[in-house]
Amino acid sequence: MSKPRRRFKQTQSLKDRLGVFARLIRERAEAMPFGAEKAATLAKAEQAEFAADAERWVNSPELRPPK
């Protein structure tokens, strides 16, 4: 028998959570010395910012389905 899924209600929107995550990761990267780890951390921040932009675009009222 499978266990029931644990669910919880988010208190912040996905856009807000991604923005906070990107800001924190970017701050962490600024404290790192130049190198591969810093580049990977900055790439994570850019991915989070892109995801926030995509989420905003998908949920925009101007978005219409293709005809």
pLDDT at residue number 14: 86
Query: Which residue in 51, 49, 25 sits closest to 37, CA to CA?
Result: 25
Q: Which tokens is 21 given? A: 């995550």
Cα–Cα distance measured from residue 17 to residue 27, given in angstroms and rounded to the nearest whole number: 15
Tens digits of residue pLDDT in 2-44: 888 888 888 998 889 998 999 999 999 999 999 999 999 999 9
Q: Are 52 and 22 in contact, with CB atoms under 8 Å apart?
A: yes
pTM given for the model: 0.71
Domain ranges of the chain: 14-58
Q: How far apart are the first and last CA of the chain?
A: 45
Q: Are 18 and 52 in contact, with CB atoms under 8 Å apart?
A: yes
Cα–Cα distance measured from residue 21 to residue 23, given in angstroms and rounded to the nearest whole number: 5
